[in-house]
Amino acid sequence: MTERASFVDAHVGRRIRLLRGLRKYSQEKLAKALGITFQQVQKYERGANRVGAGRLYELAQILEVPVGFFFDELEGFGSPDFRMGRLCEEQAPFQKTKSNEKKESGAADKKDGGIELLMLPETLELARAYYSISDEKIRQQLMNFIRDVAERSS
At 95-114, the pLDDT tens digits run 433 433 433 334 434 344 56
147-152 contact pairs (CB < 8 A, 24+): none
Domain count, the chain: 1
94 lies in a domain?
A: yes
Higher pLDDT: 61 or 22? It is: 61
96 Rama class: left (phi>0) / alpha (psi -120 to 50) / beta: beta
Arithmetic mean of pLDDT over the chain? 77
Which pLDDT does position 3 carry in this prediction? 60
* Contact status, residue 4 vs residue 101, Cβ threshold 8 Å: no
Which pLDDT does position 82 carry in this prediction? 47
* Contact status, residue 51 vs residue 12, Cβ threshold 8 Å: yes
Which pLDDT does position 16 carry in this prediction? 94
Phi, psi torsion values for 31, nearest 5 degrees: -60, -45
67 lies in a domain?
A: yes
For 58, the domain range is 2-98
Our separate counts of H helices and E strands in the chain read 7, 0
- Residue (of 123, 148, 143) closest to 133 by Cα position: 143
Find the angle CA(140)-CA(141)-CA(142) to the nearest 5 degrees.
90
**What band does 117 get if pLDDT is binned at 50, 70 and 90?**
confident
Give 37-91 pLDDT, tens digit per residue.
999 999 999 999 999 999 999 999 999 889 988 988 777 655 544 444 433 444 3
Mean pLDDT of the region 23-34: 94
Name the packing angle between helices 2-22 and 53-63 (round to 10°).
Answer: 20
26 lies in a domain?
A: yes
Which pLDDT does position 96 carry in this prediction? 39
The overall pTM is greater than 0.75: no
**What band does 6 get if pLDDT is binned at 50, 70 and 90?**
confident
Find the angle CA(5)-CA(67)-CA(114) to the nearest 5 degrees.
70
Residues in the chain, total: 154
70 lies in a domain?
A: yes
Higher pLDDT: 132 or 45? It is: 45
118 lies in a domain?
A: no
CATH number of 64's domain: 1.10.260.40
- Residue (of 19, 11, 18) closest to 76 by Cα position: 11
Cα separation of 44 and 14, whole Å?
9
**What band does 131 get if pLDDT is binned at 50, 70 and 90?**
confident
151 lies in a domain?
A: no
124 lies in a domain?
A: no
